[in-house]
Amino acid sequence: MENEELIAMEVYCDHEGVEVSFVEALHDRGLIRITTVKEQRFIDPEHLSRVEKLARMHYDLDINLEGIEAISHLLERMEALQQDMRSLSERLRLYE
């Protein structure tokens, strides 16, 4: 992975008004990935939109970390179910 593609965690937090501890907690819970290069921590750019989404849940919707963790798992399942539903309705159309 190219270093310049990584987002310095402190820069992001400072700009977005998000606490560093919040991003660390997301990482600790396995919800996002933080990479450490030469003692500096970076957010994987692939995970940046996820960090933004989880930060909205926390700061805008007042959902605590435990809630965010549970919601994240449920959302994953929900998206998989939506996918299943799409392919099932396609199959059902065969019998229409």
Partner 1 sequence: MATDYYKTLGVERNATTEQIKAAYRKLARKHHPDLNPNDEQAKKRFQEINEANEVLSDPESRKKYDKYGEQWKHADQFEAAEKQRGSQQARGGFGGGDPYGGGGYGGASEADFADLFGGMFGGRGGRQVKFRGQDFQAESRLDLRGAYKTHKQTLNVNGKQIRITVPAGVEDGQTIKIGGHGGPGTNGGPHGDLYITFRIEPDPKFHRVGKDLYITETVDLTTALLGGTLTLDTLDGAVKLNVAPETQNNTKVKLKGKGFPVYKKEGEFGDLYVTYTVELPKNLTEREKELIKELAELRNKA
Burial code (b: 16+ CB inside 10 Å, e: under 16) for 14-24 equals eeeebeeebbe
> Smallest distance, Å, CB 38 to partner 1?
18
> Smallest distance, Å, CB 24 to partner 1?
17
Q: Where are the alpha helices (DSSP H) in 1-96?
A: 9-16, 20-28, 45-55, 65-93
For partner 1, which is the closer residue by CB, 18 or 32?
Answer: 18
Which residues of the chain form contacts with partner 1 (CB under 8 A)? 5, 7, 11-12, 15-18, 45, 48-49, 52-53, 55-57, 59-63, 71, 75, 78-79, 82, 86-87, 90-91, 93-94
Contacts for 57-60: CB closer than 8 Å, 24+ residues apart: 58/22, 59/17, 59/18
> Smallest distance, Å, CB 40 to partner 1?
15
